[in-house]
Amino acid sequence: MSNGIYLRLGKLILPYWPILLISTISALIYVAFNGLSIWLTASLINNILNDFEQLLVNHRSLSTDFLSINEQLKYWTNELILRDTPKETLKILCLTILFVFIVKNLFLYIKNISLTYIQFNLITEIRNKLYHHFHNLSLSFFDKTRSGELTSIVVTDVSNMRVALGSSFHKVFVEPINILVFIVLLFVINMKLALWAIIIVPLTGSIIFWIGRSIRRKSKRTAKQIAEIMNILTEILNSIRLVKAFGTEDYEKKKFEREQNQYYNLILRRAWLRLTTSPITETIGAIIGVFLLWVGGLDVLVYKTMSSEDFIRFILILFSVLGPIRMLGSVSVKLQKGFASAERVFSILDTPSTIKERPNAKVVDSFNNEIKFNKVSFSYEESEPILSDLSFSIPKGKVIAIVGPSGAGKSTIADLIPRFYDVTSGSIAIDGNDIKDLKIDGFRSMMGIVTQETILLDHTIEFNITYGLKKYSQDILFSAAKAAHALDFINKMPNGFNTIIGEKGVKLSGGQRQRLVIARAIMRNPPILILDEATSALDTKSERIVQQALDILIENRTVLVIAHRLSTVTKADKIIVMDKGKIIEMGTHDELIKHNGLYSNLYNIQFT
């Protein structure tokens, strides 16, 4: 899985290769000038500590001898900075160091701003991909995945990926080059000391690798735990009335505290590992540094095999190499955290939609004959069959009602017609065309759906009624609200159609919410109408008002009515009676009453 993640992250970055190239070149220039700045700083210290006349003598001697790489570099440095007087030499050296630091930091800025541009664009792209993918997934995915977990992935995990895709990802490339440049300079100055110093790299690298693997495992568990916390928050905030009504505040508080404590323990252990990296690498570096100070100091002071200038330069570069190594350690931690989040993000993006539109799907924008169920069976994943071998038709202009006890599969039929789910076997056809062969947006646009659960957005009344419509007139809006028996209460609102109704329409009564949903269906003017328990949650007065609105809505339309209350279906052209996923009776109200079967029993129970 890890190699796959690296490859996929690389593919995400690849389109930004021109900017990445600029950033990489800037990084290489930064590394070169960073090494030069340390080299010149050592020269500054040496020039201050040593006699100027002796410096000139040493420089002249270098010009005549066969030079090693180290001596050649020192010769070029002295050629650049040495002048006739100590003051002029110091002036040139200071200006050169200033110039080198300015150039170094200029390219550091270019590197960082380029990466930031890539970083933010990638995060925006990933979030957009996730959000678009949510819309392509079938309802079955959301049935088994909690909204809090999805929110956590979009917000938290994508933010973690930002670090992995941005500076951290690039530092994995830049810092090793920085370390390599410093190590080469150490070997150029003194091979014996460099061989001792190089021990720090594999030793520190192995520690960082071990800590990084552990952090990655803990980051995955942490991401899952924060998703669980967000699930609890989402569920409780949506069910706060239930909690207060049943007095379960203490239970919910303890439940949240328990999950929060688990999260605390996970992030504490992860922080313990993360914060251990820097002290360990610095301690190892200090041990190696002190040892080399001793060995190098003996070479300078006792054995006279190393010049003081080389020793100063070696020590400065040695301690400079610890910075990139420490940086690499922190980057490894952030990368592992980002990769753990990337696994969760890609797991969502890799989830296929079970509702797929065929490449040659046919566009339909009119309904002429009938909707036909042909031996339709359906079951959710790994569950018992919900529907078994259903065959019936809904002719154009007719009102067809489906009734039966709870669990009979009535609402499932309402979900299959707009293809929220796909049938397990059999087919559903509109005017002889299997809906799997049709453009989804096309045939869904011909349907208006009113369900028991009123789905409204935290926006204005006008926005909710006209949701999904690009063009409409105010006259049509008023007519739809009037036909839905909603205009009176809308006019009484403080801002009329511009009134904000709150999350899920919480500022409205149940009957008012349902009438807005009916007005929304009227605005679409659909030829096919699906009413799924549209009045079952209302009181008698609200039901009567809503039913009057529905009577207006169903005129001259093809209607499928799903109902528990049989009083709402007695005038249907045909009533289908279901039980345990099968059709057991079919006919008009009078025919079914005379048949004295399940429908008759249900009717007698409700009206006796």
For residue range 286-340, what is the model confidence (pLDDT) as tens digits?
A: 777 777 778 888 887 787 788 877 888 888 887 777 777 667 666 766 777 778 7
Q: Which strands make up the sheet holding 387-395, listed edge to edge?
A: 387-395, 370-378, 425-430, 433-434
pLDDT score recorded for residue 1: 45
pLDDT value, residue 175: 78
CA 56 – CA 599 distance, rounded (Å): 113
> So what's the pLDDT on residue 239?
65
| Residue 519 token pair | 């007005």
- Stronger pLDDT, 13 or 329, i.e. the higher one: 13
* pLDDT value at 103 more than 90: yes
Contact 13, 165 (CB under 8 A): yes
Q: Cα(396)–Cα(332) distance, rounded to whole angstroms?
A: 65
Q: Which of 102-116, 438-452, 532-546, 557-571 has the lowest mean pLDDT?
A: 532-546
Q: Are 560 and 415 in contact (CB under 8 A)?
A: no
Distance CA 139, CA 231 (A): 18
Average pLDDT over residues 541-569: 75
Tell me the pLDDT tens digit for each residue of 154-191: 888 888 887 777 656 567 777 788 888 888 888 888 88
Tokens of 11: 């593919």
Looking up tokens 């800025």, which residue turns up?
109
**C-alpha–C-alpha distance, residues 108 and 111, integer Å:** 5
Triad 167, 173, 179: Cα angle to 5°: 110
310 residue type, one letter: D
Q: Which range among 42-46, 243-247, 364-368, 394-398 shows the weakest confidence by mean pLDDT?
A: 243-247
Kindly state the average pLDDT of the residues 349-362.
Answer: 84
SS3 content of the chain, % helix, strand, coil (to 5): 65, 10, 20
Query: What gap in Å lies between CA 410 and CA 412, rounded to an integer?
Result: 5
Assess contact for 30 and 112: CB atoms under 8 A: no
Please list, residue by residue across 255-274, b when 16 or more beta carbons sit within 10 angstroms of its beta carbon and e when fewer do: eeeebeeebeebbeebeebb
Q: Is the pLDDT of residue 106 over 90?
A: yes
**pTM for the predicted model, two decimal places:** 0.70
Whose CA is closest to 24, among 161, 177, 165, 162? Answer: 177
Q: Secondary structure of 142-160 in the HEC alphabet?
A: HHHCCHHHHHHHHHHHHHH
What digits encode the pLDDT tens for the residues 202-218?
766 666 667 666 766 66
Is the pLDDT score of 68 beyond 80? no
Distance, CA of 154 to CA of 148 (rounded, Å): 10
Per the prediction, the chain carries an average pLDDT of 79
